[in-house]
Structure 1
Amino acid sequence: MSFKTADVVKLRKVSGAGMMDCKNALKDADGDFDKALEIIREKGKLIANKRADRDAAEGVALAKVTEDGKFGALVVLNCETDFVAKNESFVAFAEKILNAALENKVESLEALKAIGLDGTAIEAQVTEQTGVTGEKLDLSYYKCIAGESVVPYIHPGNKLATLVSFNKEGVAENVGKDVAMQIAAMAPLAIDQSAIPQAEIDKELEFAKEKYRKEGKPEAMLDKIAQGSLNKWYKDVTLLNQTYVKDGKISIKDFLKQNDPELTVTAFDRYTLNA
């Protein structure tokens, strides 16, 4: 069975494989399109199995929100090398996954892998793309946030992305972006101290006590000194108490109040590759 250039182009569009790979697949399939597509998919599975033990530490971290700004998603698609991570086709594939997550308002990584994309489950498509790139690919991370206003930020290079939600609609663009960039730059652990697990607080207190004990501080003073150290730690690791990176004289909480006395952050997420 013969095939035309248009068949090769169509197969390339559907599979994402290179022109020569598509041409060879059609040749092996005697021009049968479905059979050729299956050949490419099987090739992807074979390469994926061979590279299963490889370290896929490179990739992209992307974040985006729905048009109404009330639902945001952050996805991380990994590969083996920075060369592939910077490839336009690889980034476009990650963007397709992200768009599918937004369109379906997916709530978990498992659910994201299961939804269909161009007629095939995303998890299977990731395996297929392994055959296209020749590298191990892994859809390793997914987070969604809903709120009255959700703002995304992707740091240049696609290695770091954040999402942040606010309690009110219509958050000024510069305010939302500045807070999202603050999260990217300062990597807070929580919105405020109430969101930090007590176990982490106790660990920090014990660390401070031991530190000052070794410095020779009186045992009777350790609790008070450690509490002071804890308060400084809160300022470093809680978003609302962090110093605003664009104005070292105020906190993020103050920055928000300057724009709206009732405005606050309700949730955030941050992911960085090669941390």
Structure 2
Amino acid sequence: MAVTLADITKLRKMTGAGMMDCKNALNEANGDFDGAMEIIRKKGKAIAAKREDREASEGCVLAAVNDGFAAIVALKCETDFVAQNKDFIALTQSILDAALESKPTDIEALKSMIVNGRPVSELIVDQSGITGEKMELGFYEFVSAPSTIFYIHPGNKLATIVGFNMPVEYQVARDVAMQVAAMNPIAVGRDDVPAEVVAKELEIAKEKAREEGKKEEMLDKIAQGRINKFFQEATLLEQAFVKEPKENIQQYLKSQNKDLTVTAFKRITLNAE
């Protein structure tokens, strides 16, 4: 059966594939739309397999909240040109929307979720076939808390989510989410820093003191002072507030409500740091 321009246009709208790809798929499927879509999907799988060893270092990072549940999704690709494509961003958004609705507990569960009648993993392969680039679901993080906030930095390469122990005024919450974006803390407070990280920092501090010629019996005291400085730089609650460096984040929150604090945060970036 002859393939018409209307058929090609229709298939292109359905799949997002190029005009020639749609024409060739329709010809191969003898005008059958379901068959043509399957051909395009198989092409996507072939491209994905061929590009498996390529690096997907670009992409789109989006975040949102829904009734105390906040999520971040990062869909990765090879080039910024594709990352800025509206269909690629729309796919990232649809994956995020599905995460907000179903609250999967890990990235593998998110990949297997059904969106528009198909698993997320297959939708990504389809998009790979359309663009000709390797694509992968790079990151998925979530936070559940009585109150949550998200922040997406312009350019869709960096996003944060933060949970609080109680309702919080929007601008205050946003300030904290932007603090996480700007200062990249490793934990909420000093008690949340892994013990092995603390031990390593203490050892580094002792070694530095030795190199400075400090007496051996003074090393523990010196290292403890330096680990306190580490906590002030690396933990969210003790970091100096970017907008008002004379106070730290904990003091900023207490100025709003003496019981207000951060319960958790996540930060995802595709930028080199």
TM-score above 0.5, yes or no: yes
- In structure 2, how many angstroms separate the alpha carbons of the residues matched to 1:148 and 1:16? 40
- In structure 1, how many angstroms separate the alpha carbons of the residues matched to 2:23 and 2:35? 12
Which residue is equivalent to 1:173?
170
- In structure 2, how many angstroms separate the alpha carbons of the residues matched to 1:253 and 1:10? 56
Among candidates 228, 231, 237, match of residue 228 of structure 2: 231
Q: Which amino acid aligns with 2:154?
A: P
Which residue is equivalent to 2:121?
123
Which residue is equivalent to 1:271?
268
Among the aligned pairs, what percent are the same residue? 55
Q: Which amino acid aligns with 2:25?
A: A
> 1:248 is paired with a residue of what secondary structure?
strand
Gaps of 5+ in 1: none
In the superposition, the TM-score normalised over structure 2's length comes to: 0.96
Is 1:247 equivalent to 2:244 in the alignment? yes
Which residue is equivalent to 1:162?
160
The 1:65/1:10 distance shift into structure 2, 3 A limit, reads: farther
Which residue is equivalent to 2:43?
43
Query: Does the 8 A contact of 1:191 with 1:240 survive in 2?
Result: yes
Q: Which runs of 4+ in 1 moved over 4 A?
A: 2-7
1:205-220 alignment to 2 at 5 Å? 205-220=202-217
More displaced stretch, 222-231 vs 118-127: 118-127
Q: Deviations over 1:160-195 (max 9, x none)?
A: 1100000112x1110111000000000000000111
Gaps of 5+ in 2: none
- In structure 1, how many angstroms separate the alpha carbons of the residues matched to 2:150 and 2:13? 29
Query: Does the 8 A contact of 2:158 with 2:271 survive in 1?
Result: no
> 1:125 is paired with a residue of what secondary structure?
helix
Q: Deviations over 1:128-155 (max 9, x none)?
A: 1111011000111101111111101110
In the superposition, the TM-score normalised over structure 1's length comes to: 0.95
The Cα shift of 1:6 comes to 5.4
- In structure 2, how many angstroms separate the alpha carbons of the residues matched to 1:105 and 1:16? 28
Among candidates 111, 114, 119, match of residue 113 of structure 1: 111
The 1:158/1:128 distance shift into structure 2, 3 A limit, reads: same
Among candidates 134, 137, 149, match of residue 136 of structure 1: 134
